[in-house]
Amino acid sequence: ILSIKRRLQAFLRRTPQSHCELLISNALKFWLFMSHWILKNCFTCLVCLCFFSGLLNFLLQQPRVLRFFNGSNSTMAQVSSAATMTSAGVRMPKLIYGTAWKKERSADLVYNALVTGFRGIDTACQPKHYREDLVGQGIARAMKDKSIKREDLFIQTKFTSLAGQDPAAIPYDRNAPLAEQVRQSFNRSLENLQTAYVDSLVLHSPMPTVSETMEIYRVFETFHASGSAKQLGISNIYSLDALAAIFKAASVKPAVVQNRFYQQTGYDKDIRRFCKDNNIRYQSFWSLTANPHLLASNALKSVAKRLNITPEQAMYKLLMSLGITPLDGTTNSEHMKEDLAVLSLPELTAQEVEAFSSLTGGMV
């Protein structure tokens, strides 16, 4: 009885009080009240209470029931509120919805992601691979229809240099000085996303030299000083020396690094260790697509079997257990629900995490 009481109290503390959630919460509060009263005043009912308590405790431990209580079938998907605090003091969700290559579907997919429970959105001012304008439309529609507050969202965008742009669709003046290109791109991002600020501004990839990279980053720092970019970061950086040089030169230290997580770079073991040592949050993309061998590994399959979850869910859970924030680019509504349910899963054992980490370069 005490065990189930603790579980229900923890559930009530994290459950948003709205719609059907309010009804469920009130029912559970009534159960807690009655169990307390019976324990004190009515010993003859104790046997019945123990029976139903045992049954409810058993049900609460079943993965499918856990997924229901934590969002896979209702707006209780606010498990996505599970977040980490970055070094910049920004609340960053542990699972972020990625919007690359969504094209004309971007608005609807972002809307669906937010309605399902995602609260982190990653995009870029790069028409070649992102429809940032449609991402903004999806965010605006979800905020209007579902009364989602801007302060509850984590919006991350990127500046992409000329080398990464489609020559036919550059979102700034290609002939302008580099610093001006950065300013024009950022202003376009704010316009596209229909917001006065972004929570995270990331350099899409470093320039050929640290000096050129820092020229961009210095402009980023002015955005941070004005409050229009709450934190700064860098993506697609696979040289530890370059990252260390940027970190040393920066006045506003990068709070995030976003890289492709795959075997060819040794899963960024050294970079992830640097991030850990310097309080930088490591975000991963291509986490599923680039790693079919990890999805098929015994280390991952054993976690999936024990928790009765899909291999993809197990992958996200294992990444989070390593301190990694994955980007999730699914276009399937059911997969969105399943992925968000990962945030409510119990902690993995040290042996499970170590077995997986041995496949990704070892613990950092």
CA-closest candidate to residue 133, choices 183, 184, 191, 181 = 191
Give the list of residues 6+ apart from residue 287 with CB closer than 8 angstroms, or none: 261, 315, 316, 319, 324, 326, 327
- CA 90, 94, 100, 103 dihedral sign is negative
The DSSP line for 2-15 is HHHHHHHHHHHHHS
- pLDDT given for residue 18 in this prediction: 42
The answer to whether 183 and 175 are in contact (CB under 8 A) is no
- pLDDT given for residue 225 in this prediction: 98
The answer to whether 95 and 342 are in contact (CB under 8 A) is yes
The answer to whether 350 and 321 are in contact (CB under 8 A) is no
- pLDDT given for residue 170 in this prediction: 98
CA-atom Rg of the chain in angstroms: 23
Give the list of residues 6+ apart from residue 191 with CB closer than 8 angstroms, or none: none
- pLDDT given for residue 82 in this prediction: 87
The answer to whether 135 and 157 are in contact (CB under 8 A) is no
Q: Are strands 83-85 and 91-93 parallel, antiparallel or unpaired?
A: antiparallel
Give SS3 for 231.
coil
d(CA 29, CA 190): 44
pLDDT in tens, the chain (364 residues): 555 555 555 554 444 444 445 555 566 666 666 766 666 666 556 666 666 666 565 555 544 444 444 443 443 444 444 899 999 999 999 999 999 999 999 999 999 999 999 999 999 999 999 999 999 999 999 999 999 999 999 999 999 999 999 999 999 999 999 999 999 999 999 999 999 999 999 999 999 999 999 999 999 999 999 999 999 999 999 999 999 999 999 999 999 999 999 999 999 999 999 999 999 999 999 999 999 999 999 999 999 999 999 999 999 999 999 999 999 999 999 999 999 999 999 999 999 999 999 999 999 9
Q: Which residues pair with 283 in a beta bridge?
A: 258, 325
The answer to whether 233 and 256 are in contact (CB under 8 A) is yes
d(CA 29, CA 11): 11
